[in-house]
Amino acid sequence: MDRLRGWPATLNEGPVGLRPLRLSDVRVWRETRLRNADWLRPWEPSNPETPLFRTGLGPYVSMVGTLRREARQGLALPWVVTYEGRFAGQLTVGAIVWGSARSAQVGYWIDGALAGKGITPTALAMAVDHCFFTTGLHRLEANIRPENHASRRVVEKLGFREEGIRRRQLHIDGAWRDHMCYALTVEDAPGGLLVQWRRARESAAHGGSPVEEV
């Protein structure tokens, strides 16, 4: 657990990067969230600490403080997703459980203007490898609304397996919503998930099975 304490690592794969969330991201975070309100609303949990559309900066400051505290306690890895060095979204590994479980849940969102460039699966593959091979986690879950086909494609193309429906798991967009549970363990990613994703993209580029970019 000592390897997790403090802030998450900075990771890069080509133009896609993961870096720690900063207080100085507040204005670009707010602008991106407001501009993507309709894009994000159907999938975002109703959480008072991270409201989608408040105009003030206080909610962001509160969120960063909470995530920093959880990171110091070994309970979360909060990242900004970047593309060509610019803010592109967020990816957070949270609800970390140690002991005999060594499990966590991952959530992410991306600027709709950047969808279709393969940013999200690349960022997720980097995060998974860091969690498995640096932090020492064993299992990661992604819980996704059945209607969120784009997000489901991200985890499916990376090899997450579907493990069933969690009824009325989260309050989203005004109601308690069902979620599909996807999961991956370290045994599912021999050699690293990023390597597998890179090979799939290279195969598609050379005439293999097409890989849809998300």
Q: What's residue 211's pLDDT? A: 57
Domain positions in the chain: 11-205
Query: How is residue 47 written in tokens?
Result: 């959480």
Instruction: Give the pTM.
Output: 0.89
Q: What's residue 193's pLDDT? A: 96
**CATH, domain range 11-205:** 3.40.630.30
- Extract the runs of DSSP E, i.e. beta strands, from the chain: 11-13, 16-20, 77-83, 86-97, 103-110, 139-144, 161-172, 175-185
User: Is the pLDDT score of 188 beyond 90?
Assistant: yes
Which amino acid would we find at residue 177?
Answer: R
Percent of the chain with pLDDT over 90: 67
Query: How is residue 190 written in tokens?
Result: 């021999």
Average pLDDT over residues 138-162: 95
Average pLDDT over residues 76-90: 97
